[in-house]
Amino acid sequence: MYTYEPPVPADQLRNLPTRDAALLLLQNFADGGGYLQYVGTMGTAREAFREEPDAARLVDRLSDAWCWLEAHALLARVPSQSENFRQLSRDGRDLAADPKGLARFEARTRLAGPLHPDLEKTVRTNFDLGDYETACFAAMKAVEVAVRDASGLDNSLVGVPLMRKAFQPHQDGKPGGPLADAGAEGGEQEAESALFAGAMGRYKNPSSHRTVDFDDPIEAAQIIQFADLLLRQVDRAKDRNS
């Protein structure tokens, strides 16, 4: 008698979130090779789960996992076949073959939305190429350039001194830096100054900060998102001044 093997074991379908079940399904597809069909995959699962008390729910969970893979472009249509056939996309093959592929996939997902225009070209390109150190440096350099342009401060000021000068809090009736928010409470002004100065001191020159793991694409994505936030705050400061 023929025994049907489910592409993902029943216990894992019951207990894992959809993403994790989908990644197991992806690995099963990668190990098996060949073209894929949704109807065939679900039919095999239905036979494999025939003795399970929650067989219908298990097939539904497997269907969720398949749809997750398609929604994230890890499965693709086969150009030479009818629309019913699927194969692993290039990203799907890379993800299944490389233990670090999941981290890169999740990092790209974090940056899937639009970035500040100053980051969209060089930063995103270097990130997508896997050059995370250059991408992070370019992101913080973009912040530095934006602050200098918005504040009108001299080119001799760079990094932390530039941030401190541009966001110097207003105190005791004395004017602060050109980008400081005079309408904010004093502690908030100081916090904003510290935020920008800390970003420059910590991330602008990656080679001098070995504690940053630039082999970790998720951390790199977070640094770029941080730069995106800072650039949008600079835009708000420019709007206040105008």
User: Which helix H or strand E contains 37, and what residues bound it?
Assistant: strand 36-37
The reply to whether CATH 1.20.120 applies to domain 110-241 is: yes
CATH 1.20.120-classified regions of the chain: 110-241
Read out DSSP for 75-108?
A: EEE-TTS-TTEEEE-HHHHHHHH-TTHHHHHHHH
- pTM equals 0.75
Structure tokens belonging to residue 190: 């100081």
What are the pLDDT tens digits along the chain (242 aa)?
567 899 999 999 999 999 999 999 999 999 988 899 999 999 999 999 999 999 999 999 999 999 999 999 999 999 999 999 999 999 899 888 887 788 888 888 889 889 999 999 899 999 988 899 889 999 999 999 999 999 999 888 999 999 999 999 998 778 889 999 988 888 999 999 999 999 999 888 655 555 555 778 999 999 999 999 999 999 999 998 87
| CATH T-level topology, domain 10-97 | Sec63 N-terminal domain-like fold (1.10.3380)
Query: What is the spatial distance between Cα 75 and Cα 86, in angstroms, rounded to a whole number?
Result: 6
CATH 1.10.3380.30-classified regions of the chain: 10-97
